[in-house]
Amino acid sequence: MDETVSGNGDERCPLCKYYGATNETMEGIYTYISVSTGRVHLNEICLQVHEIMETNLNIKMSADSVAKHIKEHMTDQRVVMGNLLLELISIAATTKQCCVFTSEEGVSAVDPKNLMVYLKVVDQIASIYKMEDRRPART
């Protein structure tokens, strides 16, 4: 089964179009994206892929289009889980801020509902880190 799904737009996604091609550079790009998503900042991955595609393959694809491909087209489990991990980290930061509030008397208090949401998100993050493919490589 393919790791990518092209959208219904008029323009074809080059990374979807060339998926499965027997080109060492493209295979390296797919491997790099799969291994790096969730470990390297998305912007850096996109800039590197954009540069390699333009320089080595003469394929025009903006860094924003690479990001769209990674977020919306790829179904590789490592990529999806890496994207979910980044989303959960963002949600955790937001819910953590909502947990503590100051009462009308000026006393800091914890909102139990928001605290439960925060703890569930943290639990999900921990579950992702416990997954075998998310663990650091052993040497």
Least confident of 6-10, 16-20, 85-89: 6-10
Name residue 101's beta-bridge partners.
109
43 within domain boundaries? yes
C-alpha–C-alpha distance, residues 32 and 47, integer Å: 12
pTM for this predicted structure: 0.71
Could you give the number of structural domains in the chain?
2
Rounded Cα distance, 72 and 9, in Å: 13
pLDDT band at 12; cut points 50, 70, 90: confident
Q: Cα separation of 27 and 138, whole Å?
A: 24
Which range marks the domain in which residue 35 is found?
A: 14-74
Is residue 59 one of the residues assigned to a domain?
A: yes
pLDDT digits (tens, 9 = 90+) for 81-133: 888 888 999 999 999 999 998 888 999 999 999 999 999 999 999 998 888 66
Q: Classify residue 2: in a domain, yes or no.
A: no
67 and 103 fall within a common domain: no
